[in-house]
Amino acid sequence: MTEDGIPLEAQLENAGNGTYHGYPLMENDPFRKTVIEKWFKSKDVDG
């Protein structure tokens, strides 16, 4: 999640370096809702 609440999808950018790049999940992506819900649940548990 970005600081402004945009959920991101991590995609492997370079397997040799193990680097990833975050891409915003589109509004119509059904996984977007899941990511947002899990993010806020984890914040409730962690404090």
Encode pLDDT of 14-33 as tens digits: 999 999 999 999 999 999 99
For the whole model, what pTM was predicted?
0.68
Structure confidence at residue 43 (pLDDT) = 81
Overall domain count for the chain: 1
d(C-alpha 43, C-alpha 45), whole Å: 5
Does residue 2 belong to any structural domain of this protein? no
Q: Does pLDDT of 47 surpass 60?
A: no
Mean of all residue pLDDT scores within the chain? 91
Confidence class for position 13, pLDDT limits 50, 70, 90: very high
Residues 6 or more apart in contact with residue 40 via CB below 8 angstroms: none
The boundaries of the domain holding residue 21 are 8-46
Phi, psi of 16 (to 5 degrees): -65, -40
Is 29 a domain residue? yes
